[in-house]
A = this chain, B = another copy of it.
Amino acid sequence: MYTCEIISVGTELLLGDILNTNEQFLSKELASMGIAVLHRSSVGDNRERLAEEIRLALKRSDIVITSGGLGPTPDDLTKEVCCEVMECPLAENKEQTEKIKRYFEKKGMDMPESNLKQALLPVGGIVFENNNGTAPGGAIEKNGKCLIFLPGPPRELIPMFRGCAKPLLKKYSSGTIVSHNIRTMEIGESALAELARDHMDLPNPTVAPYAKDGEALLRVTAGAESEERAEELCKPVIEDILKRLGKYVYGVDYDSIQQRVVELLHKHNKKLAIAESCTAGYTAKRLTEIPGSSEVFDCGIVSYSNDIKMNLLGVSEATLKQYGAVSSQTACEMAEGVRRTGGADLGISITGVAGPGSDSENKPAGLVYIAISDGKKTVWEKLETGRENDREYNRYVSASRALNLVRKYLEKII
């Protein structure tokens, strides 16, 4: 398997002014081509350090891709340093000179002389046209190594990688890597790992657990000479894991629980209404991230006060007095209330303490009740996130669990 290293160039990166999204994009693309990325690094606009980094990378890896530092200003050095390290002279490329001149004409702007620097290109190298800016990229192949330089702005780098670098890299591709994500809720990362332990010891496919935002997933990854073969390797492992995990799994390769829920609502031809207290719109917002959600969702009510819970959702004053706003009883009345008010088949509700700190009824942050009602039965669950000071987490996870309740209802698990 060929190896590749990514070097991001720019002092603004090291100052934290810019989030480096190029690295993730390139890493994903290379992984899908079966090229192993074992190192990534970032350096500033400094000739010595950049040269040192490129030399080290070329020693360790077959392919090196740099991004950034192709601009017209004196601190843009990447191309010059690449050529220096590869011992490859630069020369003016007339075609590029003309292109840059036309670019400025088209924009009705005067071309600064410094931009002509961008038309200097490595002799014997490959030129990558830039259709979204003035800096061409390129590649130098020499002594069994391949050095590629790309511009820094993502809207220039992404099309250039796809259009120019990827075709060039095809010859380094070793078959294909295929990944599948088994997404779960209500089970921790380590419990998940325990359940799949024997699979985790095998080399191909590999199985690895990840936890994020109150969810856990198992990723099954296989490498093979063809996509078909890689899929064949994954299939029995995924099937076996799905059997073991059962109801915890909300889907394989879904982007989110809301994607699964919208699909299930469509499939069962059901409309959902949502009543939210502590999440205050977060659940509705997430459900409606999915295009087409408007066919299964009409009505959401954010009832941040007891008055609104009574007036719009029909929660009884007695319930609020006796059990408080954060209680299973209130959650159940909210769910049924919003179902009725919204004219929907199913109603869900979320009421709890988002934090930081306890609420006026002295209930702890992270205590949340969720419920679902279909007009005949109402089912509730109690959550305790244990995070007193993480308002965003408590709200996110409460919304996730409420959506998961819909999933479990429609899959007849509850």
What residues of chain B lie closer than 8 Å to A115, measured between beta carbons?
Answer: 190
Asked if A305 is at the interface (CB within 8 A of a chain B CB), the reply is: yes
Asked if A253 is at the interface (CB within 8 A of a chain B CB), the reply is: no
Cβ-neighbour of A312 out of B29, B71, B189, B299 (below 8 A)? B299
What residues of chain B lie closer than 8 Å to A297, measured between beta carbons?
Answer: 280, 304
Q: Bits for A370-410, please: 1 = Cβ < 8 Å to B, else 0.
A: 00000000000000101101111101000000000000000
What residues of chain B lie closer than 8 Å to A225, measured between beta carbons?
Answer: none
Instruction: Count copies of this chain in the complex.
Output: 2
Least Cβ–Cβ distance between A94 and chain B, in angstroms: 21
CB-based nearest B residue for A299:
B308
A194 to B107, CA, bound (A): 18
Surface stretch bound by B, among A42-50, A244-252, A316-324: A42-50
A297 to B280, CA, bound (A): 10
Q: What secondary structure prevails in chain A residues at the interface with B?
A: mixed
A303 to B288, CA, bound (A): 12
A284 to B342, CA, bound (A): 18
Asked if A41 is at the interface (CB within 8 A of a chain B CB), the reply is: yes
Least Cβ–Cβ distance between A92 and chain B, in angstroms: 18
Contact yes or no, A24 B31, CB < 8 A? no
A20 to B14, CA, bound (A): 13
Asked if A256 is at the interface (CB within 8 A of a chain B CB), the reply is: no
Q: Bits for A286-312, please: 1 = Cβ < 8 Å to B, else 0.
A: 011101011001111111110110011
Q: Bits for A23-53, please: 1 = Cβ < 8 Å to B, else 0.
A: 1111111110000011111111010010001
A298 to B309, CA, bound (A): 9
Least Cβ–Cβ distance between A151 and chain B, in angstroms: 11
What residues of chain B lie closer than 8 Å to A386, measured between beta carbons?
Answer: 103, 106-107
A389 to B44, CA, bound (A): 31
**The 4 residue pairs across chains A and B that have the minimum distance between CB atoms:** A281-B281, A300-B302, A16-B28, A16-B27
